[in-house]
A and B are shown apart, each in its own frame.
Chain A
Amino acid sequence: KQEVTQIPAALSVPEGENLVLNCSFTDSAIYNLQWFRQDPGKGLTSLLLIQSSQREQTSGRLNASLDKSSGRSTLYIAASQPGDSATYLCALPNSGGSNYKLTFGKGTLLTVNP
């Protein structure tokens, strides 16, 4: 059974700082890994999806990397802004026949202070 861990659980940084969020998983036989953002009281917004054959994906100030062999993914946020404050979740489809089920980490609550 896939287990997903996100560290740290919470992070507070000053505006302009570069930061890294971590996601680790136990089963390396993955199809892809998806990073989401969730604002308070809102649904999930997809940020990046990395296929298992890829090492990284970039979108604007966001860069996500994937290392299947070590069971890790990182989300790098450059030049953070107060608007980046949210909970960031990583999720992976189960391996095998039930790969439509996403297993989520518990998230990292990011606060960017102006």
Chain B
Amino acid sequence: GAGVSQSPSNKVTEKGKDVELRCDPISGHTALYWYRQSLGQGLEFLIYFQGNSAPDKSGLPSDRFSAERTGGSVSTLTIQRTQQEDSAVYLCASSRGRAGRNEQYFGPGTRLTVT
């Protein structure tokens, strides 16, 4: 079946603008994750959604970052007033349940460049 999809694949934006990144998880996967991959920083956890439970937003780096998941499927990560340090690859993943027991499947990522 189809894997995790993300859009856009690349996004170039000016400092101070808002951006929205989209993730479509694998059908039937209840858990959805956002990660960020920065040069020299490796992969870092941002946010986790599981079913109808309140999301874990503990990894979001500032209040300029927010995410929502509508209808338990598609998720949108929004970055307001972008800064140059937000430049990174944003990866979305999904799994059948909590990652503690289930494999996470990743999308191709969105490469964000803030000029």
Residue among B4, B33, B106, B111 with the highest chain A CB neighbour number at 10 A: B106
- Distance between Cα atoms of A32 and B97 in the complex (Å): 14
Pairwise interchain contact B98-A41, C-beta atoms closer than 8 A: no
Q: How far is the CA of A107 from the CA of B42 in the complex (A)?
A: 8
Q: Which of B4, B100, B108 contacts A100 (CB 8 A)?
A: B100
Residues of A within 8 A of B109 (CB): 42-43
Query: Does A89 interact with chain B (Cβ within 8 Å)?
Result: yes
Chain A hits for B100, CB < 8 A = 31-32, 93, 99-100
Answer whether residue A88 sits at the interface, using C-beta atoms and an 8 A cutoff.
no
A-contact 0/1 string along B54-79, CB 8 Å cutoff: 00101100000000000000000000
Given A31-B100, A100-B56: A44 touches B106 (CB 8 Å cut-off) = yes
Give a binary string over A76-106; 1 marks a CB under 8 Å from any B CB, 0 the rest: 0000000000000101010000111111111
Query: What's the dominant secondary structure at chain A's contact region?
Result: strand
Q: How many pairs of A and B residues are in contact by the CB < 8 Å rule? A: 62
Contact A99 B99 (CB under 8 A): yes
Number of interface residues of B (CB under 8 A): 27
Most buried by B among A34, A36, A102: A102
Contacts of A12 in B (CB 8 A): none
| Contacting residues, chain A, for B107 (C-beta < 8 A) | 43
Question: What residues of B have a CB within 8 angstroms of the CB of A49 in the complex?
Answer: 103
Closest to B105 in A: A46
User: Chain A residues near B48 (CB, 8 Å)?
Assistant: 100-101
B31 at the A interface (CB under 8 A) = yes
Cross-chain pairs A/B with CB under 8 angstroms, 18 sampled: A31-B99, A31-B101, A32-B100, A34-B103, A34-B104, A43-B6, A43-B107, A43-B108, A44-B91, A45-B106, A46-B105, A100-B31, A101-B45, A101-B99, A102-B33, A102-B43, A102-B45, A107-B42
